A and B are shown apart, each in its own frame.
Chain A
């Protein structure tokens, strides 16, 4: 048995140093809405739902950014495409007129979530196919440019609310479950997040994941091994985009509102901050990053209207003193990319 196998559990996650966290976290997460009810503060559940949803997006970005070395500054585009898929399908469902004349609208989550992932996957394929012909700073800039193009496209789409965005009057429905109940919706998001993170952890440890990690470390080496690099990067970018689209679809359902702001470059930046804050190229890093960023935002915003003034220096300090992210606090090896 080799070293890395000993350190990794069934899902390829590190079980040694952060073991306590792995046992405690599911219990805390499952109990959270009930504790919130007991405290009479329903906003805790709402906050946790938002964090869980953005965990999906941050972890997805991390597949491209952390594991694949593709620093995308345009992932908000996929968040927005996911959200708008939900919003547009809902508006066509309400209006009864099919989208483009042949795609019927729907309010069924079992249809809207896969549709959102397909739509954002296609967007990622198109944007990735062009952007991945470049690298380094050009890649950062071109992904940013594409995301801004989509942003302005949706701003100008008056049929879907333009820059006002569009309201999704009711959350998408699930059979046997009442998604309008915040606790139920929280658990739906939690299960999806766990499933998506589990899938990502398998991907990272699979043959595909190893090739992706190899490309990040040395493209020349991988090319000399005979790897067609572009294809693998594009595939990872598409998977990353699909996960972000899933998060966007859930976010649209969560706030029952989608707007071009979901695609704004500041949103892309926020996703990047989550990844960097938590720990680039680690499985749990983005989860911690998302929790920390949204948690801080909420706490500081409740305290002062100028919360950014506090948030900025705080982020700088965290990155300065924990260059491997918050994950390195929990697990000694979280900063490394593998065991």
Chain B
């Protein structure tokens, strides 16, 4: 069988006596949307931080297309095709939407030790940036400063910025959090449109979205995967009902 896009094996992260990630194994195939769900404190964000290289795992392996990346820094991982969105938006508040995306395009183009030419007038950065904005449904808001965008628009911009990095694997940390119903549907359509092109690991609390989008779902509780399978299998799993969904909710 071909090597999956992302393969995580036996990942462990300890903070003193606390085991935040407990022998976690999981994979994401090319073009697949793999959802990771779990109650608060299950270690989802810690797991993403380890994938991105912001936290160093205590044990285990992380491979991207068969290449071990567990010891690399964040920048090196991003160059190999990793991208992420943040649960709490991390955008450049003083810049416009277009500036934010253009900067992502610029960084993908290589190093930025260029000191003379005006980057804000560089069509090779602006034009692709407009395309990514359009892809995320923000074409009309290109010149609006981030601070003047609505929360939903900022979430869309997060996605546009991540897409501008042309990732092969995109880690989505709660892209639906804080969105209204219509914004939420828009985001869901966006992600559905990316399926098949980009591998995605979706961390999300919104079950409707997860069940609608995910090819596979893994359930994380206390840092370990207690169940993995398609939507029907997860909904049917008694452990998941007890541990996470709560008997009354389903």
The chain A residues found within 8 Å of chain B, CB to CB, are: 1-5, 8, 12, 202-203, 205-211, 213-214, 217-218, 220-228, 232, 235, 336-338
Contact = CB atoms under 8 A, between A and B. Distances in A.
Interface hub of A12, A218, A235 (most chain B Cβ within 10 A): A218
Nearest to A217: B92
Given A211-B106, A338-B94, 4 more contacts: A214-B95, A220-B90, A225-B165, A227-B107
A208 B112 CA distance: 5
B114 A208 contact: yes
B108 A226 contact: yes
A209 B104 contact: no
Given A5-B121, A226-B78, A227-B75, A221 B92 contact: yes
A276 to B, nearest CB: 18
Size bracket of the B interface: 35 or more
Contacts of A232: 112
B94 A337 contact: yes
Interface in B161-218: 161, 165
Contacts of B84: 224
Contact of A224 (B86, B99, B118): B86
B107 A226 contact: yes
A226 B106 contact: no
B46 interface: no
A223 B54 contact: yes
A218 B86 CA distance: 12
A208 B115 contact: yes
Interface in B55-108: 73-75, 77-79, 83-84, 86, 90-96, 98-99, 103-104, 106-108
Q: DSSP class of A's interface residues: helix, strand, loop or mixed?
A: helix
A42 B4 CA distance: 77
A89 to B, nearest CB: 28
A220 B53 CA distance: 12
B15 interface: no
14 contacts: A5-B118, A202-B116, A207-B114, A207-B117, A207-B119, A210-B106, A210-B112, A210-B119, A218-B93, A221-B92, A221-B161, A222-B107, A223-B54, A225-B108
Q: Give the 7 A-B CB pairs with smallest separation, nearest first.
A: A226-B78, A221-B90, A207-B112, A217-B92, A211-B112, A207-B114, A207-B119
B74 A210 contact: no
Contacts of A222: 107
A203 B115 contact: yes
Nearest to B52: A224
Interface string B4-25: 0000000000000000000000
A213 B92 contact: yes
A210 B98 CA distance: 13
Contacts of B112: 207-208, 210-211, 227, 232
A222 B92 CA distance: 9
Interface of B: 52, 54, 73-75, 77-79, 83-84, 86, 90-96, 98-99, 103-104, 106-108, 112-122, 126, 143, 161, 165
B91 A221 contact: yes
A12 B104 CA distance: 21
A224 B108 CA distance: 11
Nearest to A218: B90
A205 B94 contact: no
A205 B119 CA distance: 6
A217 B92 CA distance: 5
A282 B118 CA distance: 16
A209 B119 contact: yes
B200 to A, nearest CB: 15
A203 B73 CA distance: 27
A126 B102 CA distance: 33
Given A2-B98, A224-B78, A218 B92 contact: yes
Nearest to A224: B84
B76 to A, nearest CB: 8
Contacts of B161: 221, 225
Given A206-B114, A208-B115, A209-B119, A224 B103 contact: no
A225 B119 contact: no
Contact of B75 (A203, A205, A226): A226
B92 A4 contact: no
A211 B83 CA distance: 18
A230 B104 CA distance: 18
Interface hub of A12, A206, A207, A336 (most chain B Cβ within 10 A): A207
A13 to B, nearest CB: 11
Contacts of A3: 96, 143
A214 B118 contact: no
Contacts of B94: 213, 217, 336-338
A109 B236 CA distance: 82
